Amino acid sequence: MHFLDQAKIFVRSGSGGGGAVSFRREKYEEYGGPNGGNGGKGGDIIFEAVPGLNTLIDFRYTQHFKAQRGGGGAGSNRTGAGGEDMVIKVPVGTQILDDDRETVLLDMTYAGQREVFLRGGDGGRGNASYKSSTNRAPRQHGPGWPGEEMYVWLRLKLLADVGLLGLPNAGKSTFINQVSNTKAKVGAYAFTTLRPQLGVVRHKNREFVLADIPGLIAGAAEGAGIGDRFLGHIERCRVLIHLIDIAGVDKDGKPVEPVEAMQIVEGELEAYGAGLDEKARLVVLNKIDQADDELVAAYRKELLEAGADEVFAMSGLTGAGIDRLLDAVIGYLPAATITERPVGEQEEADEKPWSPLG
C-alpha cells in the first residue's frame, strides 16, 4: 500500500429541500385551506476516525464529497425526506485544515471520533406554515437553505508513543526491524527510508508504537534532502530517540563527528518548531560493534558536554545495549498497571557504573 499523508479534497453539504404549495381538495370541504409541507434538511458532511488506516491514499482517487440534498415538501402536510449524510472515514491522527494549510479546523485524535464538519441546509417552509388569520390562502413557500462547501486539506500525523530520528544511514531501519515486527528496507546508502514506518515494540510486558521517519540533513527545514515534512509524524510522541552513527560519514565520504551529527538534527528540530526541540530525547550512539569501548566512552563524554541529558550505546545489528535503551523508553510512558514503575523512575541498572552495554 502506498503512503500518502497529505491530500486536498472538496466537501459540500446538502441543500435543504423546497417547501410545497398545496391546498386541500376534499369533498364537502368548501374552504380546504393550505397543506403544503416543509422541505427536508440536507445531509451533513461528517468526518469519522477509524482504526486500521495509516494512509490517505484513498483520497488521491476520490476528491469530491457531496452530501445528499433534502427532499421537497408535499401536500397533506408531508415533510420532505432528509438528505443522507456523507461520512468521510479518515485515519486516526488526521487533521482537517483550511485551504491556507495552516488553520486546523478539526483534529481526529481517537478511534471512533465522529464530528459534523459542514451542516446541511434547513428545508424551506411549505405554504401551510404561512397561514394566518389575515392570510388564509398563502401561496408563498421557502426554497430551502443552501448547503456549505469548501476545499480542505487532510494532513495525517501518525500517532506513536516514541519517535526515531537521525541523519541518513544512522541505523534507524535496522533498529526498528530489531525491536518490532516491521520489515523496513535497509541499504548502504542515504535515504533508504522514503516514508514513515510504524512498528509495535513489546518489552517487559509493555507495548508501545515506534515511528521511524526519513533521515534529516542540514538544511532540511529549507527543503534539503527529503525536507522536514515528515517531522509532523513525531509531533505527538512522548519521547524521541536520536540515533547517531558512531562512524558516520557525509555524502562526500568525510567523517561526521557524533557531536556534529547531534547538533545538525537538533538545529532542524528547532527550525521546524511545533515544540519538537523541547521534547524529551534519548541520544544513542549506534553501531558500537564498529568501535572499541574506549572510543565509545570518549564520544559519550563529548555528547554529554555538548548538552545531551543521557547517552546510550548500542548496536542495532547485534542487539547489544538495546534492552537498556528500551528500559529508559518505558520510563517516559504512562504506567499501564500498578505493578509497573511510575513515569520517570530509574532502574537500578542506571545507578551502576556506566558501560557501553549498560
Choosing from 137, 156, 175, the residue where a domain stops is 156
CATH number at residue 233: 3.40.50.300
Q: 512522548: which residue's cell?
A: 238
pLDDT value for 27: 76
Q: Is the pLDDT reported for residue 274 higher than 80?
A: no
Q: Which of 107, 130, 156 is the last residue of a domain?
A: 156
Asked if residue 267 and residue 138 are part of one domain, the reply reads no
The reply to whether 177 sits in an annotated binding site is no
72's CB contacts (< 8 A; 6+ apart) are: 17, 18, 19, 20, 39, 40, 80, 144
Residues 233 and 324 in one domain: yes
Whether the pLDDT of residue 18 is over 80: the answer is yes
Q: Which of 118, 141, 156 is the last residue of a domain?
A: 156
Strand order in the sheet with 6-12: 64-66, 6-12, 149-156, 94-97, 104-107
Check whether 173 is labelled as a binding-site residue.
yes
Rounded (10°) CA dihedral 264, 265, 267, 269: 170
Alpha helices for the chain (secondary structure H): 172-179, 258-272, 293-305, 322-330
Whole-structure pTM over 0.85, yes or no?
no
Q: Minimal CA–CA distance to 195: which of 221, 162, 232? A: 232
15 is in an annotated binding site: no
214 marked as part of a ligand binding site: yes
275 is in an annotated binding site: no
Is 287 marked within a binding site? yes
- State the residue range of the domain holding 215: 162-351
How large a percentage of the chain has pLDDT more than 70?
Answer: 82
Q: What span, in angstroms and rounded, lies between the C-alpha atoms of 151 and 305?
A: 50
Q: Are residues 139 and 174 in the same domain?
A: no
- 112 secondary structure, DSSP code: T
130 and 58, same structural domain?
yes
Instruction: Look at residue 195 in the predicted model and tell me its pLDDT.
Output: 63
State how far the Cα of 53 lies from the Cα of 198, in Å rounded to an integer.
Answer: 12
Is residue 288 marked as binding? yes
160-212 pLDDT per residue, tens: 788 888 888 788 888 888 888 766 545 444 445 556 777 788 888 888 888 88
Predicted confidence band at 349 (pLDDT cuts at 50, 70, 90)?
very low
- Asked whether residue 151 carries a pLDDT value surpassing 80, the answer given is yes
Beta-carbon contacts of residue 127 (< 8 Å; ≥ 6 apart): 19, 20, 21, 22, 34, 36, 138, 139, 140, 141
C-alpha cell at 104: 486546523
- Does the annotation list 17 as a binding residue? no
* 47 annotated ligand binder: no
Q: Is residue 270 part of a domain?
A: yes
Tell me whether residue 54 is annotated as binding: no
If asked whether residues 129 and 220 sit together in one domain, one would say no
Together in a domain, 205 and 342: yes
In angstroms, rounded to a whole number, what is the distance separating the alpha carbons of residues 173 and 185?
7
Establish whether 169 is an annotated binding residue.
yes
Span 83-97, average pLDDT: 93
Q: Is the pLDDT of residue 41 over 80?
A: yes
| CATH code of the domain containing 108 | 2.70.210.12
Q: Are residues 227 and 206 part of one domain?
A: yes
Torsion of CA 183, 187, 192, 198, to 10 degrees: 20
Residue 44 lies in a domain: yes
Residue type, 65: F
Q: Which pLDDT value is given to residue 190?
A: 47
Q: What per-residue confidence (pLDDT) applies to 109?
A: 87
Sheet with strand 86-91: strands edge to edge? 86-91, 45-50, 114-118
215 among annotated binding-site residues: yes
Question: Per the structure, how many domains does the chain have?
Answer: 2
Q: Is 339 assigned to a binding site?
A: no
Question: Residue 297 pairs with which residues in a beta bridge?
Answer: none
104 and 214 together in one domain: no
Residues 121 and 191 both lie in one domain: no
